[in-house]
Amino acid sequence: MAQEQMRLSPTERANLVAYLDGELNDAEARAIATKLTNSPTARRELELLEKTWDLLDQLPRPKASEQLTTRTLTQMRSIAEHGGQIESAFRRVALRVGRVVAAVAASLVACLFGFALTQWVWPNPTARLARDLPLIEHLDEYRDVGTFDYLEALAESPEFNSDRD
């Protein structure tokens, strides 16, 4: 009883049209044929599909207009004649794109050169502060000293002159 109710799997249902057209390989065709032999439910699905195809065959087939061939051939001739124009248009566009890329590249090089030149020529105030930091840390003491005369007097005094002893 369970075999009577065996339905086609989604994969088998998708392959059912290929089975009717004889497009499946042997293993797949045998599997569907076995299922159709053993299951009335699967056979009903096959019959419904065959009836659907028969009904589709009954529908009137649309016909192409008489001018379709003429228009198609005219357009193909036009494309063939204007093929050189299409190629030249492509070349013009490629040339414009090339010019834009070259302009962007030149601008980038100019910016980088300007940046490098500015870094080399323009003084960096931070570097100068770092270089002069030891002097700046003792600037108040240097201002208190005043002139070199005072330093020379200190150097001559016995309290600071330990070499003379």
- Cα four-point dihedral sign 104, 108, 109, 111: positive
Residue 1 has pLDDT above 60, yes or no: no
Cβ 4 vs Cβ 36: under 8 Å: no
Residue 99 has pLDDT above 90, yes or no: yes
| CA–CA distance, 22 with 15 (Å, rounded to integer) | 10
Q: Which two tokens stand for residue 11?
A: 């994969």
Residue 163 confidence class, pLDDT cut points 50, 70, 90: low
Spell out the alpha helix ranges (H) of 22-147: 26-38, 40-58, 67-81, 83-121, 125-131, 133-137, 139-145
The reported pLDDT for the residue numbered 5 is 63
Question: How far apart, in Å, are the Cα atoms of 13 and each of 28, 38, 114?
Answer: 12, 16, 71
| CA–CA distance, 4 with 22 (Å, rounded to integer) | 25
16-53 residue pLDDT tens: 888 888 888 888 888 888 888 888 888 888 888 888 88
| CA–CA distance, 93 with 105 (Å, rounded to integer) | 18
58-77 residue pLDDT tens: 888 888 887 888 888 888 78
